[in-house]
């Protein structure tokens, strides 16, 4: 009886831990940001007016300020930035899938020893900081960078191409950075698949590509979804890569947030942007969750 | 014997040198690294046969089937189906369907969709697909499970889906890898007869892998017994059972008593074997081809041994022993009799009466058999 209780409370503790973590590092900051988003700018430290103030003697005054949100809807810049972020994230996700799927598939079909080497190669970039790797792309793409020099040396072009500070460079940076996040879940998913299913499909008359389309692809749906989410959500908020590679015209919501926060010191507006960004992502996450839930609740599919 | 075997035996194509085999394997071998999984196999299978591959686990049955299906290419040798060389022909272009030992059902499709898969692939009209799938599901008694996913089925039900999926396309050649292993005895017998019926109806040629020799006997027009990648013997069930070519085959198919001995008289009409194990001489009423004084083995089936409490006539093929064990199986009883030499002999006797047997434990008995009963093998 005693042991049972001890085990029970132990389990409770283990379950409570992640919740505690979420409370401390997600809910609390979120509440703070939410609070700031409803306050007014002030020339102070921190640069906003308190939300709650003691009015007269004992009356608590709450001044909710919706102007920050209203402001986001009046200035077209923000809507454009939102839309552009979604577009960039979507295109990046699709590119990552198109490049990552064949890579994951190849890895899963490779011989076990080759497979481990390939896996190591995919994870290897994580050993250096992402910032450094993005800087490396500047070195590759700039006017007298490696890519241009090689192309000129080969005689393909005569004048250096403007690669850096273009949407192209930004996509290169994002796809490059997030590719492992697509490859790893896809690999884990495809690797588990029973190859005899492909044989069975071919036996029943499928050509290899038909077998891929009818068997492999549907069975790797979970990997595709997981990989997409892992790229799409951070890519929407991405700001380092658009700033460093994308040039002045890459209007990303993450970048706007940064500018509002650090350049304009407009914390309330920045917070409002952050809250809206979160709201934007909630439907995607809910959709993903519902699919995952259906998958685990029903028979394994 | 089954109707298929009986019917085919009438005009047995394998005895006809001019008959054209539907499937022909010519000296086929398969290596996995250094390991020889299939060793120099040559086989001819004729149209309309139910040909059984019988062998212990790991002897290369699945590998042989996979080569016919096109999933594995032979390391050497050639495979012909309907006279066509199959080397380099991919699975989807072979007139063959395979039922996989592990079933390989598509987990994201329902039972119905699994069975319909091959027909859809062939662009069979929708109505025909529905009809044929329903008929096939009825055949394997899975009609009410049509909408389930494979993960919601029992092992035996999955096996039946796999069977249905391979049968529904009515290919010219069907490769079945242990098609009935997971079914209970009743259902297995039922399905065996359904398979035979289907064979009649559609004229499909079957190549069935099994390690259940009873099943092989029931189904097969011919059986090939495999041992470590080689074909030990191929022949009709009767040939395999009554005229095994080696100790391995005799022992693998059914149970048998084997007596080692020396060839002492070797005449065209009979041979006499002096066997220490038997404790006397064994007289066999047919000639064999072996060197004089060679070590040979006389194999006698348990049901062909007569057991009596009084000494039988003649001196050959008679031994004395004591009953060591009796197993009552209902329809028949198995007796283990220990000879004076220490050798334990297995005897089966049908229980023709309902009363307790006259022969009991520890009783002294005489064993004997007809001189035509033993098979003499030289390896
Ligand atoms: N892909 C492979 N690589 C290496 N060895 C293999 C491979 N496939 C089969 N083998 C080996 O070849 C031998 C024959 O295998 P196979 O699957 O044909 O046996 P089987 O007769 O079907 O046995 P079972 O009755 O258990 O199904 C086995 O020893 C197996 O380990
Ligand atoms: Mg096998």
Band of pLDDT at residue A45, cut at 50, 70 and 90: confident
Q: Cα of B327 to ligand 1 centre, how many Å?
A: 36
Cα–Cα distance for residue pair B191/B210, rounded to 1 Å: 14
Measured from the CA of B60, which atom of ligand 1 is nearest? 18
pLDDT tens per residue, range B274-288? 888 888 788 888 777
Give the model confidence (pLDDT) of A133-166 as tens digits: 999 999 999 888 888 899 999 988 888 888 888 8
Give the mean model confidence (pLDDT) for residues A253-274: 86
List of chain B residues whose C-beta atoms are within 8 Å of the C-beta of residue A201: 106, 117
Range 211-270 of A in CB contact (< 8 A) with B = 214-215, 218-219
Q: Which fold has domain A75-297?
A: MetI-like fold (1.10.3720)
Shortest CB distance from B100 goes to which of A196, A205, A207?
A: A196
Residue range B140-157: average pLDDT? 90
Report the CATH fold assignment for B255-377: OB fold (Dihydrolipoamide Acetyltransferase, E2P) (2.40.50)
**Which one has a higher pLDDT value, A9 or B244?**
B244
Distance from CA of A284 to the nearest CA of B (A): 24
Q: Where are the domains of chain B?
A: 3-95+171-247, 255-377
Spell B117-156 as b/e; 16+ CB within 10 A means b: bbbebeebeeeebeebbeebbebbebeebbebbbeebeee
Which of B100, B151, B169 is opposite residue A300, by nearest beta carbon? B151
| Closest-approaching ligand to the CA atom of B39 | 1
Helices A167-191, A76-109: inter-axial angle, 10-degree rounding:
40
Which of B71, B118, B149 lies nearest to residue A204, judging by beta carbons? B118
Decide if A299 touches B, using CB distance below 8 A. Answer: yes
- Highest average pLDDT, of A53-57, A211-215, A252-256, B314-318, comes from A211-215
| pLDDT single digits (tens) B154-202 | 888 898 899 999 989 888 899 999 888 888 888 888 888 888 887 887 7
pLDDT-derived band at B294, boundaries 50, 70, 90:
confident
A210-237 residue pLDDT tens: 999 999 999 999 899 999 999 998 998 8
User: Cβ(B282)–Cβ(B261) under 8 Å?
Assistant: yes
pLDDT at A3 over 60: no
- Report whether pLDDT(B337) > 60: yes
Q: Would strands B306-308 and B318-328 be described as parallel, antiparallel, or unpaired?
A: unpaired
In this structure, of A67-76, A250-259, B283-292, the range with the lowest mean pLDDT score is B283-292
Q: How far is it, in rounded angstroms, from Cα B338 to Cα B358?
A: 18
Closest-CA residue in chain A for B166?
A: A204
The answer to whether residue A299 scores a pLDDT higher than 60 is no
pLDDT the model gives residue A300: 43
CA of B84 to the centre of ligand 2 (A): 26
Considering every ligand atom, which ligand is closest to the CA of B58? 1
List the single range of A170-174, B120-124, B282-286 with lowest mean pLDDT: B282-286
- What is the reported pLDDT for B1? 44
Between the CA of A197 and the centroid of ligand 1 the distance, in Å, is 18
Q: What pLDDT does A118 receive? A: 93
Name the average pLDDT for chain A: 86
Domain spans, chain A: 75-297
Q: Which residues line ligand 1 (CB under 6 A)?
A: B 32, 35, 37, 55, 57-63, 101, 211
- Which is higher by pLDDT, B313 or A84? A84
Ligand 1 atom at minimum distance from B101 CA: 27
Residue A1 has pLDDT above 70, yes or no: no
- Measure the CA–CA gap between B167 and B97, rounded to whole angstroms: 8
Closest ligand to Cα B61: 1
d(CA B23, CA B72): 17
| pLDDT > 60? residue A4 | no
Which has more confidence, B176 or B212?
B176
pLDDT value of position A223: 92
B31 band by pLDDT with thresholds 50, 70 and 90: very high
Of A222, A254, A259, A274, the closest CA to residue A92 belongs to A254
A201 touches B at CB < 8 Å: yes
Q: Which residues of A263-276 are buried (b: 16+ CB within 10 A; e: fewer)?
A: eebbbbbbbbbbbb
Half-sphere exposure of B301 (CA within 13 A, CB side): 17
ipTM, interface predicted TM-score of the complex: 0.81
pTM given for the model: 0.80
Give me the half-sphere count of Cα atoms (radius 13 Å) on the Cβ side of residue B197. 7
pLDDT band at B70 (very low <50, low <70, confident <90, very high): very high
Q: In this structure, what token pair is assigned to residue A121?
A: 């190669």
- Overall average pLDDT of the B9-26 stretch: 81
**What pLDDT is stored for residue B226 in this prediction?**
92
Residues of A in contact with B122 (CB under 8 A): 205
pLDDT score recorded for residue A289: 84
> In this complex, is the C-beta atom of B69 within 8 Å of any C-beta atom belonging to chain A?
yes
Residues of A in contact with B100 (CB under 8 A): 196, 199-200
Are B106 and A215 a contacting pair at CB < 8 A? yes
Cβ partners under 8 Å of residue B37, min gap 6: B30, B31, B60, B63, B229
> Contact B118/A205, CB-based, under 8 Å?
yes
Q: Is A210–B121 a contact, with Cβ atoms under 8 angstroms apart?
A: yes
Question: CA B235 to CA B246: how far, in whole Å?
Answer: 13
Distance CA B273, CA B284 (A): 8
Give me the pLDDT at residue A161, please.
85
Fold type of domain B3-95+171-247: Rossmann fold (3.40.50)
Q: What's the confidence (pLDDT) of residue A7? A: 58
pLDDT tops 90 at residue A92: yes
Q: What is the mean pLDDT of residues B100-109?
A: 92
CB-CB contact of B288 with B376 (8 Å): yes
Instruction: Give B377's pLDDT tier (boundaries 50, 70, 90).
Output: confident
The number of C-beta contacts closer than 8 angstroms across A and B is: 63
pLDDT value at position A72? 84
Least confident of A116-120, B228-232, B239-243, B266-270: B266-270
């Amino acid at each position: 009886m005693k042991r049972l209780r001890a085990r029970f409370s132990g389990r409770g503790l283990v379950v409570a831990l992640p919740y505690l973590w979420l409370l401390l590092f997600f809910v609390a900051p979120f509440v703070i940001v939410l609070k700031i988003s409803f306050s007014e700018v002030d020339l102070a430290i921190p640069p906003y007016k308190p939300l709650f103030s003691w009015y007269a003697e004992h009356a608590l005054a709450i001044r909710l300020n919706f102007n920050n949100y209203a402001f986001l809807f009046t200035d077209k810049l923000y809507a454009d930035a939102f839309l552009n972020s979604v577009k960039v994230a979507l295109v990046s996700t699709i590119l990552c899938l198109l490049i990552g799927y064949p890579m994951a598939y190849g890895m899963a079909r490779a011989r076990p020893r080759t497979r481990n080497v390939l896996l190591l190669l995919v994870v290897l970039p994580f050993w250096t900081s992402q910032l450094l790797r993005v800087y490396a792309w500047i070195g590759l793409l700039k006017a007298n960078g490696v890519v241009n020099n090689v192309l000129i040396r080969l005689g393909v072009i005569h004048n250096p191409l403007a690669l850096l500070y273009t949407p192209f460079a930004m996509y290169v940076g994002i796809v490059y950075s997030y590719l492992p996040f697509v490859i790893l879940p896809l690999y884990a998913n495809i690797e588990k698949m029973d190859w005899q299913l492909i044989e069975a499909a071919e036996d029943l008359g499928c050509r290899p590509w038909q077998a891929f389309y009818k068997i492999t692809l549907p069975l790797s749906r979970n990997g595709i979804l997981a990989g997409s989410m892992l790229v799409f959500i951070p890519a929407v908020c991405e700001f380092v890569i658009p700033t460093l590679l994308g040039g002045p015209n890459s209007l990303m919501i993450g970048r706007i947030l940064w500018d509002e926060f650090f350049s304009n010191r407009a914390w309330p507006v920045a917070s409002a942007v952050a809250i809206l960004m979160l709201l934007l992502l909630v439907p995607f996450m809910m959709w993903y969750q519902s699919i995952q839930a259906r998958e685990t609740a029903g028979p394994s599919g | 014997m089954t109707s298929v075997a009986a019917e085919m035996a009438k005009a047995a194509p394998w005895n006809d040198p001019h008959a054209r085999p539907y499937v022909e394997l010519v000296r086929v071998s398969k290596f996995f690294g250094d390991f020889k999984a299939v060793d120099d196999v040559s086989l001819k299978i004729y149209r309309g046969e139910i040909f059984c591959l019988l062998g212990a686990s790991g002897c290369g049955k699945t590998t042989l089937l996979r080569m016919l299906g096109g999933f594995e290419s032979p390391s050497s040798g050639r495979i012909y189906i309907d006279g066509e060389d199959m080397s380099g022909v991919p699975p989807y272009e072979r007139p063959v369907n395979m039922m996989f030992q592990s079933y390989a059902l598509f987990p994201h499709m329902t039972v119905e969709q699994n069975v319909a898969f091959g027909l859809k692939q062939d662009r069979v009209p929708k109505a025909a697909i529905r009809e044929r799938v329903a008929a096939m599901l009825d055949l394997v008694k899975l009609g009410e499970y049509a909408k389930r996913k494979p993960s919601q089925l029992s092992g035996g039900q999955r096996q039946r889906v796999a069977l249905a999926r391979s049968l529904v396309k009515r290919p010219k050649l069907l490769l079945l890898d242990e098609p009935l292993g997971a079914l209970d005895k009743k259902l297995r017998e039922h399905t065996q007869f359904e398979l035979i019926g289907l064979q009649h109806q559609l004229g499909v040629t079957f190549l069935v892998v099994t390690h259940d020799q009873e099943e092989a006997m029931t189904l097969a027009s011919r059986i090939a017994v495999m041992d470590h990648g080689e074909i030990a013997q191929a022949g009709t069930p009767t040939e395999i059972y009554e005229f095994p070519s080696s100790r391995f085959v005799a022992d693998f198919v059914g149970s048998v008593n084997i007596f080692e001995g020396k060839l002492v008289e070797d005449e065209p009409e009979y041979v006499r074997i002096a066997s220490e194990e038997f404790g006397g001489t064994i007289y066999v009423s047919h000639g064999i081809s072996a060197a004089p004084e060679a070590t040979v083995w006389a194999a006698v089936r348990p049901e062909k041994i007569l057991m009596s409490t009084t000494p039988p006539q003649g001196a050959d093929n008679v031994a004395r022993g004591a009953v060591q064990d009796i197993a009552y199986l209902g329809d028949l009883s198995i007796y283990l009799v220990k000879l004076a030499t220490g050798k334990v002999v297995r005897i089966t006797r049908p229980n023709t009466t309902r009363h307790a047997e006259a022969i009991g434990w520890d009783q002294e008995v005489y064993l004997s058999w007809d001189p035509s009963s033993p098979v003499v093998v030289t390896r």
